[in-house]
Amino acid sequence: MRRATAKPLGGLALAALLAACAQQQAAGPAARVYAVDLQGQAKNCTVPTNVSLRPERATDATMSLDNDGGWCGVTVAQPGPKPYDYGVVRTRPSNGRVLIRTVGDRTRVDYFPNAAFGGTDNFAVRLMPGGVEMNVAVTVAYTPPPAPPAPPTPPARTPARRR
């Protein structure tokens, strides 16, 4: 059995390796998005891909989704990109709930419609730092499930004969 032996790195190779490590550390770790961050999304969720929030005025965004028990979310970020530290719901939706959370290097504002709701809804959030605001108009499509089939009609009973 042969053993592998490590060969010493030359000065130039060692310098290149150290320079590469320094560049990776300066760039920082890559953002991580886990599968759990994506589970439960509505099958049909349409949101703008690039929402640019400005501190001088509230930004309007739209969202449309099918109410199949899932959520729909608008993703935003500070320059860098980096997530906002926290967010508050300024105006609550009438027919659902809102969750503000960090996903990777961004902040996602998720809307969960109430069960069996279809129609329009809206909400507003404020994200910090910066106090930027976003007003979201939501359109929810809901198709009720088909009614279960009627039970079969039992056969008519004939009276029993007496003997």
Question: pLDDT tens across 46-67, in order?
Answer: 999 889 899 889 999 999 999 9
Residue with the bigger pLDDT between 154 and 162: it is 154
Partners of 76 in the β-ladder: 107
**Threshold 0.85, pTM exceeds:** no
Residue 137 has pLDDT above 70, yes or no: yes
Interatomic CA distance for residues 105 and 76, integer angstroms: 9
Residue pLDDT, tens place only, 72-130: 999 999 998 999 999 999 999 999 999 999 999 999 999 999 999 999 999 999 999 99
> Cα separation of 52 and 44, whole Å?
23
